[in-house]
Amino acid sequence: MRTGVYLCNCGGNISERIDFNRIEEALLLQPGVAYVQRVDFLCSQDGRQFLAADLGEQRPDRVVVAACSPREYERAFMQVLERAGMNPYFLQMANIREQVVWVTPDVDQATAKACAQIRGAVARVGLHEPLFLKELDACRDVVVIGAGPAGLKCALTLAEAGRKVVLVEKSPVLGGMPVRYEDLFPNMECGPCLLEPLMAEVLHGPHASRIELLTLAEVCGLKGYYGNFQVAIRQTPRQVDAEQCIGCGECIPPCPVSVPNEFNFGLDKRKAIALPFLGALPNVPFLDARACLRSRGEECTACRDACPIDGVVRFGETAQTIERTAGALIVAAGFGLYDCRNLPELGYGTVPGVCTSLEFERILASSGPTGGELKPPDGEPARRVAIVHCAGSLDERHRPYCSGICCNYAFKFDHLIEKKLPGTRIHHFYRELAVAGKEEFALYDEARRNHHATFVRYVAGGLRVSGPEGGLAVEYEDSAGSRGRIAADVVVLCPPVTGAADAGDLSRLLGIPLDRFGFFAELHGRMDSAQSGIKGIYVAGACQAPMDISRAVSQAMAAAGYVLSGLADGKKLEISPITAVVNEARCSGCRTCAGVCPYQAISYPPEGRVASVNPLLCHGCGTCVAACPCAAIRGNHFTGEQILAEIEAVLA
Amino acid sequence: MTQTETQTMPDAGSPAGPFEPRIVGFLCNWCSYAGADKAGTAQMSYPPNVRIVRVMCSGRVDAQFVMQAFRDGADGVLLLACHAGDCHYQEGNYRATVRHRMLLRVLAQFGIEEARCRFDYVSAGEGEKFVRVVSETVEAVRALGPLAPHLACASGGTPRLTQPSTVASP
């Protein structure tokens, strides 16, 4: 073994604070060290050229560079080795700048420590093995789960880039939650109007042919890995032929069945065959087989009889499971609201006139249960509205966080109430106000200037909604300690945004973890919020964290970006060789490794009794290597032998 | 300089001088190693007794590495990880804490004091904390003195850990 050691002077930064002569002499006595070279600035262009040329001349088996932190230039020096015809992993750096000379003022002590660190590097590099980047063909198609703003934007972006997209939506309609909001903060754009161009593009645009839209569909199985997922999707039949239906709605009125309309949060009724709401896209009714009289064996054909086209209403279609292959998945499954029944003092579900903000959105919407009239579905127009901000937020017993959007929509409500019924008394009960953003402040400012609006800052636990005896009212204790009671016709609760109700099922199915609040956990909160912990599965929109539409759409674009750069056209998937590798002969099949792997990279093929690491999913942390009781897993480039040799040498 | 001098040169302290503990520090690449770099960039000085071994994740630190460090003559071992919740690999640091607790129990059976094997969290921004943890560890191990000669063989012969005689062999 011939190891070449390069000592970088770093322009005196290192060489003036250390005795390189003594180090050189000591190193030359160490077995394996063939030569020691001193270079002024190894990282400079000249330095790298010198290194490449010298490697060509000296032809060492291994290289040690004693210089700055490997976090700075290790990659660059690896490239130099590669240029010189060596395997790039035959390099080891000794960090004698940041971790020695810059922190050790005494020259003798610095020299001794540097010498030990370089000896460690020499001992280790002698055991380095050639490693190679692997390449793999990958499927470029993508499955997007959820057709809200994030999912739609993501699907469209990928389709525009030429990708085939399967867009899986569990409801019969596109647009997610915001399509049900008449107006959006901060600019009072109409929700359906904002989303309609996007939905129209997805349905009928120039790239729509690349988007396979599956409504009433849910992912029910996932196998495989990044670049090659097998996705099983279960689709409930619509029982209405989407290709032939002209969307006239003639089929709906004759239907004799009435069930609570989930799209208006049960505030009104719909028929068994229905459009979720006026203007819903795709403009094709769906037949709810569970509600239909035919499910009880009755021979009702009212809808089919009313349909002007033969064969559009198709009774008896059965659920089917569709299999698709995809290189990546994007989860844009949307959000839920914290269940206000956990806050019994606020009267939700027990006191008439108390509603959640989502229900209130529908009350305000012209396509909603009251046709946009500001009143409870079967009540009188409201003259007094109480809006309860932070209903369960900022509270360890419920949700400790601020959702960041509630104040914005609460002030939107303020604006809309004043517009619809001028003079309506509005009371904002809040604990904290959060209206950051370059446009968002305007709505708050408007609410502050609204003469009919008052603000009450309540203390934690200082709010109670009473009624119906004595009339609907909010009793409060404010932050100054005074108590009061304000009568209201409608109380709107603004609860914390949470993960969607079915996020847990999806999490188990896809193997991507939820955080402690029920949102899909991101790989990193700041740097990688659109990546899940599993390679090739991305998260976008409010299923990852509470967020507004603009952030959801941006995150969707980020997720699409990951797919387009990771599964780029004309490029194979690159697999880093720094992964764990199982020695099958030693593996006892105890599965300890699988239990500690955070990336689900370790599996047990049914036919074998030993673990197998998927290098595509492995991030190379080495936790399984350390956990294996049989020493049956090797951590490439950080093998037990390499590290033990380094330990021995730094202590020698 | 003579060859003898060269060979005895590399380590702080000498047989005649005050005891200078030798400590191996296992630092994870993403947080604590970066924290050590940060201390360097800020040119904070701290005792030179810690020899740094970089691993990608604190979860990679095998209990065997720690035992081997003691066998090879270390007087102390330092395990540094990302803060809870900050692990680059999600939960490797948690695995490391579990392993460290186990290690302390094993080390106790060899008569090795807890203070000789410290686990702590150092983020990439915590140069000052890195310096403090290193300084405290060096002082703690210095106060304990060299690892007892019956536990480790400092020079010559085969270094080995000898189990206390009270532990029955299987």
Suggest the residue from A621, A625, A638, A642 to mutate for an interface test with chain B (most B CBs closer than 10 A). Answer: A621
Suggest the residue from B56, B86, B97 to mutate for an interface test with chain A (most A CBs closer than 10 A). Answer: B56
A515 in contact with B at a CB cutoff of 8 Å? Answer: no
Give chain B positions within 8 Å (CB) of A29. 3, 6-7
The fold for domain A577-636 equals Alpha-Beta Plaits (3.30.70)
- Tens digits of residue pLDDT in A519-577: 999 988 888 899 998 889 999 999 999 999 999 999 999 999 999 999 998 889 888 99
Give chain B positions within 8 Å (CB) of A120. 51, 53
pLDDT at B12: 44
- Answer whether A643 sits within 8 Å of B65, measured CB to CB: yes
Q: How far B66 CA lies from chain A's nearest CA (Å)?
A: 9
Burial of B121 (0-12, 13-18, 19+ CB in 10 A): buried
Question: What share of chain A in percent tops pLDDT 70?
Answer: 100
Q: Can you say how many angstroms the Cα of residue B46 is from the centroid of all Cα atoms in its chain?
A: 15
B132 in contact with A at a CB cutoff of 8 Å? Answer: no
Nearest residue on chain A to B61, alpha-carbon basis: A626
B13 in contact with A at a CB cutoff of 8 Å? Answer: no
- Tens digits of residue pLDDT in A132-176: 999 989 999 999 999 999 999 999 999 999 999 999 999 999 999
Query: Position of tokens 């609760």?
Result: A493
Architecture of domain A338-496: 3-Layer(bba) Sandwich (3.50)
The whole-chain average pLDDT of chain A stands at 95
pLDDT at B16: 58
Contact A216, A284 (CB under 8 A): no
> CA-to-CA distance for A583 and A50, rounded, in angstroms?
40
Strand partners, B86: none
Suggest the residue from B11, B28, B44, B51 to mutate for an interface test with chain A (most A CBs closer than 10 A). Answer: B51
SS3 A41: coil
- Answer whether B9 sits within 8 Å of A26, measured CB to CB: yes
- Segments of chain A assigned to CATH 3.40.50: 3-125
- Tens digits of residue pLDDT in A358-416: 999 999 999 899 999 998 877 889 999 999 999 999 999 999 999 999 999 999 999 99
**DSSP-assigned letters across all residues of A168-187:** E-SSSSSSTTGGG-SEETTT
| pLDDT score of A33 more than 60 | yes
Burial of A268 (0-12, 13-18, 19+ CB in 10 A): middle
- Tens digits of residue pLDDT in A430-466: 999 999 999 999 999 999 999 999 999 999 999 999 9
Nearest Cβ partner of B91 from A25, A103, A598? A598
A116 in contact with B at a CB cutoff of 8 Å? Answer: yes
HSE (side-chain half, CA atoms, 13 Å) at A229: 29
- Tell me which CATH code domain A133-236+319-334+500-575 carries: 3.50.50.60
The fold for domain A3-125 equals Rossmann fold (3.40.50)
**A642-647 average pLDDT score:** 98
Suggest the residue from A10, A98, A103 to mutate for an interface test with chain B (most B CBs closer than 10 A). Answer: A103
Residues 55-84 of A with CB under 8 A from B: 69-71
Backbone angles phi, psi at A348, to 5 degrees: -65, 125
All residue ranges of chain B with pLDDT < 50 are 1-13, 153-170
- Answer whether B45 sits within 8 Å of A105, measured CB to CB: yes
Task: Count other Cβ atoms within 10 Å, centred on residue A162.
Answer: 11
Per-residue tokens: A470:
């004595």
- Answer whether A644 sits within 8 Å of B65, measured CB to CB: yes
Backbone angles phi, psi at A95, to 5 degrees: -85, 90
Q: How far A603 CA lies from chain B's nearest CA (Å)?
A: 18
**A84-101 average pLDDT score:** 98
Contact B124, B115 (CB under 8 A): no
Residues 409-468 of A with CB under 8 A from B: none
Query: According to the 3-state scheme, what is the secondary structure of A233-285?
Result: EEECCCCECCCCCCCCCCCCCCCCCCEECHHHCCCCEECCEECCCCCCCCCCC
Residue B11 lies in a domain: no
Number of domains in chain B: 1
B51 in contact with A at a CB cutoff of 8 Å? Answer: yes
> CA-to-CA distance for A111 and A107, rounded, in angstroms?
6
**A506-525 average pLDDT score:** 90
Residue B26 lies in a domain: yes
pLDDT at B166: 37
- Answer whether A626 sits within 8 Å of B60, measured CB to CB: yes
- Tens digits of residue pLDDT in A311-330: 999 998 999 999 999 999 99
pLDDT at B7: 43
Residue B72 lies in a domain: yes
State the residue range of the domain holding B93: 20-144
pLDDT at A606: 78
- Answer whether B52 sits within 8 Å of A95, measured CB to CB: yes
pLDDT at B15: 53
Helix axes A149-160, A191-204, angle to 10 degrees: 40
A46 in contact with B at a CB cutoff of 8 Å? Answer: no
Residue A2 identity: R
- Answer whether B60 sits within 8 Å of A621, measured CB to CB: yes
Residue A474 identity: V
CATH number at residue B67: 3.40.50
Task: Check the CA dihedral A565-A334-A400-A427 and report its sign.
Answer: positive
- Segments of chain A assigned to CATH 3.50.50.60: 133-236+319-334+500-575, 338-496
Inter-chain Cβ pairs, chain A and chain B, closer than 8 A = 151
pLDDT at B168: 34
pLDDT at B164: 39
> CA-to-CA distance for A376 and A580, rounded, in angstroms?
61
HSE (side-chain half, CA atoms, 13 Å) at A414: 29
> CA-to-CA distance for B92 and B98, rounded, in angstroms?
10
> CA-to-CA distance for A558 and A556, rounded, in angstroms?
5
Helix or strand (DSSP H, E) at A46: helix A45-58
HSE (side-chain half, CA atoms, 13 Å) at A467: 23
**A423-431 average pLDDT score:** 97
Nearest residue on chain B to A580, alpha-carbon basis: B60
pLDDT at B162: 45
Give chain A positions within 8 Å (CB) of B44. 103
